[in-house]
Amino acid sequence: MQTQDQQFGADSESMAVTFLKENGYKIIERNYRTKIGEIDIIAKDGDTIVFIEVKARKSRAYNPKEAVTSSKKRKISMVALYYLKSTRQVNTRARFDVVAIDSAKKSGAVEIIKNAFELAYG
C-alpha cells in the first residue's frame, strides 16, 4: 500500500503525463530506472527526446521550479546519457524539461519549463 506522499507523487506524475500529451509530447517511458538513478518521464517533442523531471509541491512555501538541485541534475544527466547509449540514439537531439505542479493553487497549476537545465556531469 502506498503512503500519502507516494500517492501524491504518482498522482502528480499522471497529471504531468496528461498535460504533456495535451501539449503535443509523445510519452516513451515513465519512471525509467537504472542502477544510476531514475528519470520520471521520457518523451518526444517533435524530433527531440525530452528527459522530464516532475516536481510538485503541496505548499506555497516551496517553489517546485527550484527543487531540481545540481546533484539531481547530474544524476538525471547520467541516466539520460545511459538511455541514449543503450537505445543507440546518441546523435539524437535531446533536452531536459521540468514539469512544475503547484498543488497549493486551486487548479493545481501545471507548467512546462523547457530547457530547464543543461547536461550536467562531473
pLDDT digits (tens, 9 = 90+) for 50-85: 999 998 877 665 665 677 888 999 999 999 999 999
86: in domain:
yes
Instruction: Indicate the SS3 state at residue 4.
Output: helix
Report which of 68, 62, 20, 26 is spatially closest to residue 44, judged by C-alpha positions: 26
122: in domain:
no
Count of domains observed in the chain: 1
20: in domain:
yes
Q: How many CB atoms lie within 10 A of CB 36?
A: 14
Residue 106 has pLDDT above 70, yes or no: no
9/30: higher pLDDT = 30
For residue 17, the domain's CATH number is: 3.40.1350.10
Q: Phi/psi of residue 88, each to 5°?
A: 55, 50
**Residue 59 is part of which domain span?**
4-117
74/10: higher pLDDT = 74
Residue 79's H or E segment, with its range, is helix 70-86
